[in-house]
Amino acid sequence: MHSRVVIIGSGPAGHTAALYLSRATLKPVMFEGFLANGFAAGGQLTTTTEVENYPGFPEGIMGSVMMDKFREQSIKFGTTVYTETISKIDISTRPFKLWRENKEDQEPDTADALIIATGAAAKRLNLPGEDKYWQKGISACAVCDGAVPIFRNKPLAVIGGGDSAAEESLFLTKYASHVYVLVRRDKLRASKVMANRLLSNPKVTVLWNTEAIECKGDGELLNSLVIKNNQTKEIEELSVNGLFFAIGHTPATNLVKGKLDLDEDGYILTKPDSTCTNIEGVFAAGDVKDKKYRQAITSAGSGCMAALECERWLSEHFAE
């Protein structure tokens, strides 16, 4: 199969790109993935409950329902969606070649242009009780979930010692009665400015040399963490109604490793104010290239940029 443009990935970035490209009559093909990178088609939002910060849904909307709507809109305007994962690509020459998972021995699909929107995944610790209370008091995104009622005026914990842990903890002080920051070492990795802001906030207590070892709750919601001081080996229970992981994300870039320029954390590098990668005709959008904002709306925004840049590039390089 040859397409003018193939989109790999099916989160807000991929679907927004699909919507723009299909409305531009470019008949995009999307590989939405089959449990690719551990996510159902639709991406990270399929793992959450209510999304309250995406404009247009004043009552909030379930993440999976929102992604069904994104998919419906992409298809309505002419996107062909395959529920398959792309396991290998060759972007060294054009047309670009793509192999579908479990069909690597077959002829590859080809495309004139590619949009990589494979997303990212928050790092977690797989503690006992973590799966049980995931999204029932445990989250990996303070900006997304911090304001929900179960966290209001309650003690919360953040795990991490870098800039994003400091940022997320400070953000949570707006809602929480208190924020405990669990830091594995005896110092923060965060920049001096962020560390000072964190340490001087009266609503924050940093627990040094401390690791969480279990998440506990009442069967419905998280209500405490078992924590251990890794120096004294002392174990205690910390009453908290929320736990936020701020230990980083892993971008889904195995597919493009060694083929596209990546930064030191594995995110795809794009030209400033653009979704263009170092390979002409290959664009990147969403969390796979964004370690700063990581929101549905910013991913959708960069999906739109990728589509517009791709459309222009195709019109300059290929006759209609």
Binds ligand FAD by CB under 6 A, chosen from 5, 6, 227, 255: 255
Residue 3 interacting with ligand FAD (CB under 6 A): no
Structure tokens at 245: 């992981």
Smallest CA-to-CA distance from 157 within 148, 168, 143 is with: 168
In 281-320, which ranges are E strands? 282-284
Smallest CA-to-CA distance from 239 within 284, 178, 163 is with: 178
Q: Biggest alpha carbon distance in the chain? A: 70
Beta carbon of residue 255, minimum distance to ligand FAD (angstroms, whole number): 5
Binds ligand FAD by CB under 6 A, chosen from 5, 6, 8, 66: 8
Residue 29 interacting with ligand FAD (CB under 6 A): no
d(CA 214, CA 303) in angstroms, rounded, equals: 38
Would you name the residues annotated as active-site residues? Answer: 141, 144-145
Binds ligand FAD by CB under 6 A, chosen from 28, 95, 108, 119: 119
Residue 297 interacting with ligand FAD (CB under 6 A): yes
What is the separation of C-alpha 191 from the centre of its chain, rounded to a whole number of angstroms?
A: 23
Residue 305 interacting with ligand FAD (CB under 6 A): no
Nearer to ligand FAD, 65 or 207 (CB): 65
Residue 301 interacting with ligand FAD (CB under 6 A): no
Q: Is 290 left (phi over 0), alpha (psi -120 to 50) or beta?
A: beta
Contact of 114 with 89, CB cutoff 8 Å = yes
Element (H, E) at 250: strand 249-251
Residue 47 interacting with ligand FAD (CB under 6 A): yes
Structure tokens at 299: 């991913």
Stretch that binds ligand FAD, among 40-48, 175-183, 203-211, 243-251 (CB under 6 A): 40-48
Nearer to ligand FAD, 206 or 276 (CB): 276
Question: Which residues of the chain form contacts with ligand FAD (CB under 6 A)?
Answer: 8-14, 31-33, 36-37, 39, 41-45, 47-48, 51, 53-54, 85-86, 117-120, 122, 140-141, 144, 252, 255, 286-288, 294-297, 299
